[in-house]
Structure 1
Amino acid sequence: MSGEGLARRELLCAGALTLIAGAGGLIALRPAPPRISAAQLEAAVPGSVGPYRTVRGTGLVTPPADETTEAMYDAVIGRFYADAAGDGVMLAVAYGHRQDYSLMLHSPEWCYPAQGFAIGPTTPLAVARGGAAPIPALFVTATRGDRVEHILYWTRIGTRYPQTQGDTRGLIVQQSLGRTIPDGVLARASLIGGDAAAARATLAGFAAALVASLGGAGRAVLLGPGA
């Protein structure tokens, strides 16, 4: 493409983004969902998940603390679960009552490299949800030195489950144009070491058991309104 063509395309893209940004100021948006405290989030996530029970532990990777992160999340919890054999799964849940174009949930592809991890390819993984449609989730492996962490996660924006940052931005724009400020959650289960295929199966089973064990408040947070 010629330099003139590229310049024209960049101008058109910039104009479109300006219109979207301007629309947010012109449209009377419905209020965002109410905030959820850390105590409410703790109560919404069960302490027992299938054969797993909460235990004490350390080493959970969380987003770096800064003003943007604090503005983005109302509540973040971290749990460690273990089964009778002592095999453990780490769970992190981050909730934000207001998602807009400048404040979006930090996926593992962002927060792990920020703490020195190398990230492998991300692949889709469906989490079973009883008789309902499965939850579109993602699986990725992060490595730092001799630590290898296998990760399953999903992101919810409103009632949808975006698979990429582009999807997330698109959903936020769509819902803003529909006069709605969506809430959002990032649910992440992970385990250390082992074969990637085996870890993927273990995490998928854990996530399905987590979903099955949720009460009404937990479903509303992790799965969305009306789930």
Structure 2
Amino acid sequence: MKQIGKNFLLMAMMIAASGLAVAMRPTQKVADQYDPVELAKMVPAKFGEWQEEPQNHALIVDPQQKEMLDRIYSQTLSRTYVNSGGYRIMLSIAYGMDQTDTNQVHKPDVCYPAQGFILKNRQNIQLDTEQGVIPATRIEASMGLRNEPVTYWITVADRVVSNGFDKKITELSYGLKGQIPDGLLFRVSSIDTEVERAYAKQADFSRQLLVALTDEHRQRFIGKPTRDQK
């Protein structure tokens, strides 16, 4: 009889916990508080020393990969820019309105190997811009003779997250308020065997692009960076 009572109590606790989890499930999307994101309109085709080069794709994505991207992200934007010296930078931005467990922004660390690239020399950096310091990541991706240094960062709602733990804590803080944060991946890369040159060009490109954005659009891309962000 006592065992039956314990089992009943345990079952009641499990049902209560399940109900509480459903009741606390976030339902309000942070993205609904702002104007809709329209990446193609937000990012200028020409800024600083850079101009969009039409008919050039940053990466060839197979149909299965594209299907996954379309499922995860609300919008994606891929463009190639060239400066007066002929140097090319590939820009890729992916935005998702819903950063729940099944719709997480995928880092290049995952997407590149899925397409056959080998990654090396991963490093976390502090990208200094006119708007503040942005915690970003650099990796070298290679496939055959193609060497592609990459710089990227991820934004969750109003801040750039520097690592997986920081990202999860930020998402949790919104979840406790009943909110579902949006997320954005900003990535720039170039085909270049001179890695340091590539990173320098990518940093300049990113700074010039951020300056060219409106204040509202810039905040969607980098949140609110600070000079003392670590």
Q: TM-score range by the shorter chain?
A: 0.7 to 0.9
Amino acid at match of 2:99: Q
* TM-score of the two chains, using structure 1 as the length reference: 0.80
Quote the residue 2:94 is aligned against.
94
Deviations, residues 50-92 of structure 1 (Å, cap 9, x unaligned): 20111121342559123x5323211101111101111110000
Cα RMSD over matched residues? 2.6
Contact 1:23 1:177 in 2 (8 A): no
Quote the residue 1:127 is aligned against.
127
Amino acid at match of 2:49: P
Q: 1:31 to 1:226 in 2, by over 3 A?
A: farther
How much has 1:158 moved relative to structure 2?
A: 1.0
* TM-score of the two chains, using structure 2 as the length reference: 0.79
- Which has the greater radius of gyration? 2
Quote the residue 2:154 is aligned against.
155
How much has 1:101 moved relative to structure 2?
A: 2.1
> 2: distance between equivalents of 1:22 and 1:195?
56
Contact 1:49 1:206 in 2 (8 A): no
Quote the residue 1:104 is aligned against.
104
Unmatched tracts of structure 1, length 5 or more = 1-18
Contact 1:139 1:150 in 2 (8 A): yes
Quote the residue 1:80 is aligned against.
80
Quote the residue 2:205 is aligned against.
206
Aligned positions, number: 204
Quote the residue 2:142 is aligned against.
143
> 2: distance between equivalents of 1:194 and 1:143?
10
> 1: distance between equivalents of 2:58 and 2:96?
23
Q: 1:115 to 1:96 in 2, by over 3 A?
A: same
Amino acid at match of 2:129: R
Amino acid at match of 2:22: G
Quote the residue 1:185 is aligned against.
184
Deviations, residues 118-143 of structure 1 (Å, cap 9, x unaligned): 0113212223331x421111111100
Instruction: Indicate whether 1:25 and 2:22 are aligned.
Output: yes
How much has 1:97 moved relative to structure 2?
A: 1.0
> 1: distance between equivalents of 2:153 and 2:86?
25
> 2: distance between equivalents of 1:109 and 1:69?
15
> 2: distance between equivalents of 1:23 and 1:204?
46
Q: 1:226 to 1:133 in 2, by over 3 A?
A: closer
Contact 1:28 1:179 in 2 (8 A): yes
Contact 1:124 1:139 in 2 (8 A): yes
1:53 to 48, 51, 54: 51
Match of 1:139, SS state, is strand
Match of 1:58, SS state, is coil
Q: 1:70 to 1:59 in 2, by over 3 A?
A: closer
Q: 1:146 to 1:177 in 2, by over 3 A?
A: same
Q: 1:22 to 1:100 in 2, by over 3 A?
A: farther
Q: 1:22 to 1:212 in 2, by over 3 A?
A: farther
> 1: distance between equivalents of 2:225 and 2:146?
39
How much has 1:104 moved relative to structure 2?
A: 0.7
Q: 1:120 to 1:23 in 2, by over 3 A?
A: farther
Q: 1:160 to 1:220 in 2, by over 3 A?
A: closer
Match of 1:168, SS state, is helix
How much has 1:36 moved relative to structure 2?
A: 4.1
Tell me the percent identity: 26
How much has 1:175 moved relative to structure 2?
A: 1.7
